[in-house]
Chain A
Amino acid sequence: MPFETAIITDPLTLSPETKVAAALEFVKEHRIRAAPVVDEQGVFVGIFSISRVLKKLLPTAALVDEGLNGLAFTVGAAPGIAKKLDKIKQKPVKEIMTEDVYAVDGETAFWEMIRLLLKYGSPLPIIEKESGKLTGIISIQSVVHDLEDILERMAEGQTIIETSKLTKK
């Protein structure tokens, strides 16, 4: 069963030039944790997320492979994290966003989809291969909602054939 019905085809997006401060306001206002970033032509360029902003607050030595595997010893020192956040807020979204993102398409198997969401994080962008344009996103919430939707329809007596593609919302 592909996951087509779980796709959100009109996701909220951000522009790469938007300041991080505004982007943080945007995700707070819409109660989301991340949003895809697209350029003027609608081409996908990255994902902006709160967790990415949080990550940028850590010292580089703790982020790199084979780097520090604990920072417990910095206890007692207040390393000016708030000031660091203030600096990050002045930067454009394109400097903070995750560019290295796993993209999927509507033909991906449902189980594989769940596995990818857990492995690479939510949401995952759905990108048109030739143009690179963002056609939708899929998130942990949209997957669960879609499955609940199916259950509801089964309860109403509809026959759901698991192998068939379901119509897009």
Chain B
Amino acid sequence: MIPAEDAAHHATNIVLGLDGMIVASSILVAAYAFIISERLNRAIISLLGAGALAFTGVLTQDLMVEGIDFNTIFLLIGMMVIVAITKRTGIFQFVAILAAKAVRGNPRLLLIVLSLITAVFSALLDNVTTVLLIVPITLLLTEQLELPTYPFLFALIFASNIGGTATLIGDPPNILIGSAVGLGFMDFVYNVGPAALINMLVLLLVFDVIWGRKFQTSEEAREQLVQYDPYEALTDIGLLYKSLFTLFLVLMGFIVGHGYGLEPGTVALTGAAFLMLLENYRLKPEEQSHKVQESLQQVEWETIFFFIGLFILVYGVEHTGVLNMLAAHMINLTGGDVFTSAMAILWSSAILSAIVDNIPFVATMIPMIESMAPQMGGESAIEPLWWALSLGACLGGNGSLIGASANVMVASFAERAGHRIPFLKFLALAFPLMLLSIVISTGYVWLAFFTS
């Protein structure tokens, strides 16, 4: 992040006779209020807010571009394209059916294996895509085994958010943190990975106690399921090999590239281009255009533009010095103690993330925590704060049906399939379980970063 003093173009600090700080924070607060109200699409709000910063003269266009974290944008677009191509191969259904056959349709074990598959896929891919691919096959399996679907949908939501916590690319808060602070793929695996694993195991135990051990199904239905042929779910073996090869290269790029200053955004976007090359090089030019167009259309542009607007909104308050001021307040409150700050960040981010979209919160917290670094003993001293933010924001998403995009996706799919998830019923169990995972994370953060 370039300090404001070095910025190529200075915008005026006085707007219509008002302090730029007041204008920028008013626009940000108003935008957040609209986002929380969920009456208007979040991309529209964030782009309008970004535009307002320019029209009021708080930011110039050059400063707006400077505020956008293109590493995050490239990483999101690159991974979305790779997933869009990979999902056409049927690999997700294949793995789910294979697992269901491996446990011979035992419902208790099925809940566990489907959760684990979801967690692993969510760690490596976008959570929303993962649940969109796992939920349909899960519904088929539960229908076949005549099992209640609610426990499975509940477990998949938790598995997806917990799995996403474990890696740099698993969940948007981690992408934001990793990109802004320069933390690598393996940094996340080492520092938050164990916490995700412990949480997953504890929650699987809880799910088994509440639901798994009471599941009943007929021998006949299980016999039917065992007949399924997972290989029939694979629709394009050639493309599957190309996709897996690319995913492997991209992962290696994340892990190895970090040491060579190669940003994840570059790796993911190049990976996407490489996979499109493998898919298209033998086709005629017009077929190539068609295929490439199709893959690029699968990018969730609503999310991308929401991020672009949000980066500009946050840069407005950062550039005018509002965040420095807030950071100073926070240091006053915590007395500059790293452990107290970590706990404050972990718990507040968890509870806020359960109620509202965690992305705007994380995007605002990052520059604020960064500006706290000098008073707290420098960048390496505050590293636990990033892990606290990651754990709080990612795991907090489990707290309610609107806590994370994956939850919303599962709920909307389930509703269309006639298995509505009641908001309050979900909240009544999910919120306490989310708090349990934050208690576990509190213990983890203390043990891993504050005892030696």
The answer to whether residues A59 and B132 also contact, given A73-B233, A77-B227 and a CB cut-off of 8 A, is no
| Chain A residues, CB < 8 A from B144 | 59, 77, 79
| Chain B residues, CB < 8 A from A72 | 229, 232-233
The answer to whether residues A61 and B90 also contact, given A70-B235, A75-B229 and a CB cut-off of 8 A, is no
| Chain A residues, CB < 8 A from B143 | 59-61
Are A73 and B416 in touch, CB under 8 angstroms?
Answer: no
How far apart sit A65 and B233, CA to CA, in the bound complex (Å)? 18
How far apart sit A134 and B368, CA to CA, in the bound complex (Å)? 66
Tell which of A73, A77, A79 touches B93, judged by Cβ atoms closer than 8 Å. Answer: A73
Are B417 and A67 in touch, CB under 8 angstroms?
Answer: yes
Are A60 and B418 in touch, CB under 8 angstroms?
Answer: yes
Which segment, of B134-142, B202-210, B239-247, faces chain A? B134-142
How far apart sit A99 and B230, CA to CA, in the bound complex (Å)? 36
The answer to whether residues A76 and B136 also contact, given A59-B143, A68-B93, A70-B235 and a CB cut-off of 8 A, is no
Number of A residues near B (Cβ < 8 Å) is 20
Q: Would you call the interface of chain B mostly helix, strand, loop, or mixed?
A: helix
Asked whether any CB of chain A lies closer than 8 Å to the CB of B423, the reply is no
Asked whether any CB of chain A lies closer than 8 Å to the CB of B224, the reply is yes
Asked whether any CB of chain A lies closer than 8 Å to the CB of B228, the reply is yes
Are B228 and A68 in touch, CB under 8 angstroms?
Answer: no
Asked whether any CB of chain A lies closer than 8 Å to the CB of B97, the reply is yes
Are B224 and A73 in touch, CB under 8 angstroms?
Answer: no
CB distance from A79 to the nearest CB of B (A): 6
Asked whether any CB of chain A lies closer than 8 Å to the CB of B413, the reply is yes
Are B139 and A59 in touch, CB under 8 angstroms?
Answer: yes
Binding site for B on A (CB under 8 A): 59-68, 70, 72-80
A-B contact pairs, 19 of them (CB 8 A): A59-B140, A61-B136, A61-B139, A64-B413, A64-B416, A64-B417, A67-B413, A68-B136, A68-B137, A68-B140, A73-B229, A73-B232, A74-B227, A76-B228, A77-B224, A77-B225, A78-B224, A79-B144, A79-B224
Given A68-B136, A73-B231, A76-B228, 10 additional A-B pairs, CB 8 A? A60-B143, A61-B136, A64-B136, A64-B413, A66-B413, A76-B227, A77-B144, A77-B224, A77-B228, A80-B224
Binding site for A on B (CB under 8 A): 90, 93, 97, 132, 136-137, 139-140, 143-144, 224-225, 227-233, 235, 413, 416-419
